[in-house]
Amino acid sequence: MKKTPTPEPSDTALFRSEFTDVKPIKQDKIPPQRLSSKHKSADLAKKLDRLNDVKQRNATFQFSDGFEGHFDSQQPLKYVQPGADSFEVKRLRRGEYPPDLILDLHGLNKEQAKLEIAALIYAAQKQHYHCVCIVHGIGSYVLKKNVPNWLIQHPSVKGFHQAPLEWGGQGAVLVLIDLPQVHSKY
């Protein structure tokens, strides 16, 4: 005669039976110190200062707020550096040069924007990018008014033109960067 096997206890019951003598461990660790908002603000300010120092070292040009160029308010915003080819700026207007780098200045104040623009021009030259886009927005006109005045001051800016709609329209400018000539040994 065949014996019928006895049913095995369920897996859950078996698991619990194995751990009946286990006791929970009491946590003996010290919780991490929570910084007050005053400390958080100080730490954030230190990090921003370090970041601004790095950007300042990378940006080798200082813009003046006292310089103001003359732009015809009846025409789209444009500038051609004296001695530069004006046809290149026309090509910017037509959208023939897509920007290699785009800088969005939304949310930045004037000082931060100056640092970012100088760093952008430095990076464009270092990476051999001919065209960059600076999105300044319209907002309260602070950056919209100042960005062109800063760009005119930089010797590496060959020209700029108000961006076509696809790159920001009246809230952006496309900038032509004068790249340093690479001389060959041969």
Domain range annotation of the chain? 78-177
- β-bridge mates for residue 134, sequence order: 103, 173
pLDDT per residue of the chain (186 residues) written in tens, 0 to 9: 566 555 466 777 887 788 888 887 777 777 776 666 666 677 777 777 776 665 555 555 678 787 788 788 888 888 999 888 888 888 888 888 899 999 999 999 999 999 999 999 989 988 999 999 999 998 888 899 999 999 999 989 999 999 988 989 889 999 999 987 654 444
Q: 51: part of which helix (H) or strand (E)?
A: helix 37-58
Supply the pTM of this predicted model.
0.65
Closest CA to 151 of 82, 79, 44: 79
Closest CA to 143 of 109, 93, 98, 180: 109
**What Å distances lie between residue 107 and 110, 116, 145, 162, CA to CA?**
10, 12, 16, 20
The pLDDT score that the predictor gives to residue 23 is: 81
The CATH number of the structural domain formed by 78-177 is: 3.30.1370.110
